[in-house]
A and B are shown apart, each in its own frame.
Chain A
């Protein structure tokens, strides 16, 4: 079976800095793959390349076997890769519902003049989009419930903004969901909740998921496979237990001495 996402020999330099080096990663359909690594390992750059912000110097990116290299972020999103951001990027001065509705732009067809006149087809589509937004927000249960939908996004707590970002990403109707540190800045209870949520995103909504995470409890809880990066190179890949005890990974996180005295 072809993996949903396949990266072959991806390399990227910023000036003299080698950020990614000959990287091969694949995500199977329905799989949850975690990318770990110390700060500066190139994890977010990897996401930025996949989602089309940067172009790699060399290598190939395949979505369902077809190359998406050189496509704009908008095209890639339409093709079925959605992402969240490490530094939250919700639309602060729009309501919660509008945030999610905005992500359906690529899937809707109403023209400007139809919107201006509120033609029947425009109304129908608007209704559908509303329903989609409410369904996506409903996925988060009590956390992003009814009364919050008409509040501006800036009135949400930090954890809720993260949830909103995930809801917004799912509204683009993706096949692959890329989550950049979904548990960053959350308390233990919320972290636990995020772990369950990522599981549910796969089980109930059927997304394949590529996730960057620093919290090892989350990584342990969700991953089918873990990829460890350091200085842009893949230093280990496999199950959580294999990667967590890998000498190179311990060295990357804790230094050479720690790896030797293990």
Chain B
């Protein structure tokens, strides 16, 4: 049909991508048909409605989500676009926050007005970012990562120990040492004070919207292309008239400026800053948001931040955690078995197994072993089927937990009907452990579930939720 060299596979690749398969296809097609601008408008409208329907603590969580989204967008410039592994990023956030805290609290005699403080802080943080980009002239990949990690550590140490400037007045306490700084003033613009959670939420939302528009424009500009080109192949980019060192510096500086800005709002919302706010764990959280959402994708990174920041908060509530747990179990069952006949068999087997175990246990040990079910809807539904234990709970659940893990390994190793055979007792054990132990300890369970959710998401979409599958550079 076609001449030599014009391969049909490539020719049709557009059509193939059009035809989404599966049940989510209509939603994905609808999403694709929306222009990016409309997607942003919908997102902003939904987000703007959020504080109206939640409590103050909910708004506080929303602020955390938006801050993380902003930070993730900044990090995405350096890591997702320019391809520079920057582990010092959290220090820029801390720098912005501390700078703002110092100039607007009683650490210094003078209090700076917001309209002076913000530009100065953002510019200084950008400068610091440019400075940190210097090692990236010679170092890439892991080596650059280690270098920048040092920077983050140095920042932490300075903040913890650098309470007084040597040789300057003894009364001058700059960072507050391990105690941090309290009594930070909120943002004040045009006589308007951002003192409440609601106001800060909308301030952040507006800034985030502007940032998304700007970044979207930049991504499609000469600078954005040059950043991505140097990520793909620095040497080739240099040969194609790209000043790579200047662009690396620019990426670091812009990323840092965004982090610095986020830092000032954080300090203002928290009314204080503490060294523990800017530790490596938080850096990993930002990275998790970027990677989970999809490296390089703006909507992806925002979605990643929402998932990463919101999920643990959602899991604080035991009944929500329970719902997520059971939804996860069902989803995993479907994913593992794929065919409806197998799924139905597994569920039927599970029901029978549950009654059988309960009957047998009661026949042997009597009613005295029973405890009371948890006070959630699902638990009450399961009561009468599941063995909710009383005193012997600790021992039984510990063994059941280990067995459930062994069962899970068996499920992974087995195929077809054998998989069903493995799955039935594994599901039962998992539910037994959940209802008897995990649901009672939300603080531990939260982390377990959160980790599990992240692992499943990454396993299903290695390129990130909205990421574009990228090929390795060979």
Contacts and interface: CB of A to CB of B under 8 A. Distances in A.
B is a partner of A: yes
A131 to B, nearest CB: 14
Contacts of B250: 112
Interface stretch (A33-41, A101-109, A217-225, A235-243): A101-109
Contacts of A171: 240
Interface in A87-125: 89-94, 98, 101-108, 110, 112, 115-118, 122, 125
Contacts of A152: 471
Contacts of A74: 238-239, 241-244
Contacts of B238: 72-74, 77
B5 to A, nearest CB: 6
Contacts of B220: 126
Interface in B224-239: 224-226, 228-229, 232-233, 235-239
Interface in A28-52: 51
Interface in A118-155: 118, 122, 125-126, 129, 142-143, 147-148, 151-152, 154-155
B241 A103 contact: yes
B114 interface: no
Given A78-B241, A102-B240, A155 B222 contact: no
B13 interface: yes
A102 B237 contact: yes
Nearest to A145: B6
Contacts, number: 130
A105 B226 contact: yes
Interface string B231-264: 0110111111111100000100010000000000
A176 to B, nearest CB: 13
Interface residues of B, number: 40
A255 B3 CA distance: 41
Contacts of A92: 232, 471, 473
A168 B3 CA distance: 25
A91 B239 contact: no
Given A91-B229, A190-B5, A168 B224 contact: no
B402 to A, nearest CB: 44
B229 A112 contact: no
- The main secondary structure of chain A at its interface with chain B is helix
A156 interface: yes
A94 B229 contact: yes
Given A98-B225, A101-B225, A190-B5, A116 B242 contact: no
B229 A102 contact: yes
A33 to B, nearest CB: 20
Contact of A93 (B215, B224, B232, B235): B232
A63 B309 CA distance: 57
Chain B CB within 10 Å — which of A83, A101, A143 has the most?
A: A101
B376 to A, nearest CB: 46
Given A94-B229, A122-B221, A190-B5, A105 B241 contact: yes
Contacts of B14: 147, 151
Given A72-B238, A107-B241, A94 B470 contact: no
A1 interface: no
Interface of A: 51, 53, 72-74, 77-78, 82-83, 85, 89-94, 98, 101-108, 110, 112, 115-118, 122, 125-126, 129, 142-143, 147-148, 151-152, 154-157, 159-160, 168-169, 171-172, 187, 189-190, 193
6 nearest A-B pairs in the assembled complex, by CB-CB distance: A106-B241, A115-B221, A91-B232, A103-B240, A89-B236, A116-B214
18 contacts: A53-B235, A74-B241, A78-B241, A90-B233, A91-B237, A92-B232, A93-B232, A101-B225, A102-B228, A110-B223, A112-B250, A115-B224, A116-B218, A116-B221, A143-B5, A156-B10, A159-B5, A169-B240
